[in-house]
Structure 1
Amino acid sequence: MIGCQQRNEEGNAMQNDRIRQIMTILLQEKKVIAKDLASRFGVSLESIRRDLSELERQGAVRKFYGGAVLVEDLLPDGEAAVFQVRLTEHGAEKQAIARTAAALIADGETVYLDSGTTAAALIPYLKERRGLTVITRSLRSAAQLGMCDHLTVYCLGGAVKVDTLTNTGFMAQECLNYFSHIDTAILSGDGLVPTQGVVDFGMENLAFKRSLVERSGRVAVVIDSSKFGRTAHCLTCPTERITTLVTDGGADAQALETLRARGVEVMVAE
């Protein structure tokens, strides 16, 4: 049993490494052919198809018969590469977190979706819900979810931050004020300090996120284990306002116990 689990972990690590290499190729060549990748990596065509399907789930590529093309049309030149690479960093962990966090959201809810790449990984799961109202500052998320006629999507206005295509500043705050209550806020961040809360580097979103937290019935923080203990100067969500934390199995056990002791529901994605 242990040997089987170890082989699975090794297999996942190899797939994650291969996906990162495929993403590097895509950033250079914009398009890949599945059979060429299979030959290049010495794996089956089915393995490559799974890799491309994973990248498509992350929103990094669009598949076509026999291959895939890089999704760049929503991002300006230069910034596209940065965002697409971030999508694939800790990709397996982000997908597991997204799958687990999606179970918190019921049909018909009003949901805020943050602009980080972990939050963006929820997009395929939100598309499966019926009657959702989704509020976001991310132009990319709004464009993808807005294609679903069974969802109502609001993209809050503001000054566009070019590297993430996210609206920021006082206009985003003013738009948020039109919503008196949000059922679930899916919140990400640059770091998580268990004794303090979710932290960010940018001051421009501090007032917005604090206002968001105050009007949300549930605050679900989605953050991978690499960000545990990472400090930044802006506290966007204090620990006592976190309802649920969804993270991956690599999270520090003592940090998770600290959060539980402070009343946070902790969900570890498998």
Structure 2
Amino acid sequence: MLTRERRDAVYQMIEQEKSVLVKDLCERFDVTNETIRKDLIALEKEGRILRAYGGAYIIEGVKNEVHAELRASLYPEEKRQIGKACAGMIHSGDTIFLDESTTCQAIAKELKGLEDLTVFTNSGKVFAELKDQPNVRLVCLGGEYDRKNQSFVGRSAIDMLKEYYLDLGFLSCRGLDMQSGLTDGGERNGAVRRCLLSHAAKIVLAVDHTKLDLKKYYRISDFEPIDVMVIDRFKSKEQQKEWEEFLGRNQTRLIVTESRECDL
């Protein structure tokens, strides 16, 4: 296969799957990591894809779920700051929920100083982060394992969550829009998040700035159930002002973790 033909085929695979791992591309096209790396660099220069550590993705399309391995490599410092701010709301003895987002994985990394903490989750990554922590009673939702998102989903997961009421529920989403509310790239994880909204005394939405003003496939909720929104930053002062006014009308507390000025 000629280089141009292979690169077009690589793009078609990314366009269809929305995100792919380098190891899967190497296997599919029977080429080396270095060859795929060059293909992805070329496609990114053409403006057709975005690269991340270990793979590539596109943001187009409402039904779009980027592989968890790639999401984990995006904006790590911003997510660390969000995770630290969220962890500051948690107290010893609390019962909380952390969803499958990489932002909630960042929260899990900040829980080591707390005692007698009960953590519910549907995330394989959160489970791996907390499974050896003696201060945490870890409860994992059952259900079907979603390999792309590394989470447990489906009716069994939702039915189990419905049996409990929690002090704090932390969730993220793939899109955030003033009119459309919180939206997700797929219905299975979105349905777990929707269930959480009525099963915690306080709901905290933890998102990075890339989710703002986007609409995705599955509508989770409007902003009425959201008590606190934690975000790293806004893209402009104008955007921040609009969101501050909107969230104020919805009585949602806003926490911005970065102190630097917004881009002009």
TM-score (norm 2): 0.68
Query: Residue 127 of structure 1 aligns with which residue?
Result: 112
Q: Structure 2, unaligned stretches of length 5 or more?
A: 1-21, 23-32, 35-52, 55-65, 259-264
Report the Cα distance in structure 2 between the residues aligned to 1:201 and 1:238, rounded to whole angstroms: 16
Instruction: Spell out, residue by residue over 1:136-186, the C-alpha distance to the aligned partner (whole angstroms, 9 max, x if none).
Output: 00122112212111110001010000112200100101211221x111001
The answer as to 2:230 corresponding to 1:221 is no
Aligned AA (1:173): I
Query: Residue 251 of structure 2 aligns with which residue?
Result: 263
The answer as to 2:92 corresponding to 1:107 is yes
Query: Residue 181 of structure 2 aligns with which residue?
Result: 197
- Percent same amino acid at aligned positions? 27
Aligned AA (1:116): S
Q: CA RMSD in A?
A: 2.2
The answer as to 2:130 corresponding to 1:142 is no
TM-score (norm 1): 0.67
CA contact (8 A) 2:104 2:126 kept: no
Q: 1:247 aligns with which of 228, 231, 238?
A: 231
Report the Cα distance in structure 2 between the residues aligned to 1:105 and 1:267, rounded to whole angstroms: 15
Report the Cα distance in structure 2 between the residues aligned to 1:205 and 1:106, rounded to whole angstroms: 27
Q: 1:91 aligns with which of 73, 76, 83?
A: 76
SS at match of 1:142: helix
Paired residues for 1:1-270 under 5 Å: 82-179=67-164, 181-251=165-235, 252-253=239-240, 254-270=242-258
Residues 221 and 116 of structure 1: is their aligned pair in 2 closer, same or farther, counting only changes over 3 Å? Answer: same
Residues 165 and 237 of structure 1: is their aligned pair in 2 closer, same or farther, counting only changes over 3 Å? Answer: same
SS at match of 2:103: helix
How far 1:123 sits from its partner (Å)? 1.4
Which deviates more, 142-151 or 199-208? 199-208
How far 1:218 sits from its partner (Å)? 0.6
Report the Cα distance in structure 1 between the residues aligned to 2:68 and 2:128, rounded to whole angstroms: 16
How far 1:82 sits from its partner (Å)? 4.7
Query: Is the helix fraction higher in 1 or 2?
Result: 1
Aligned AA (1:236): I
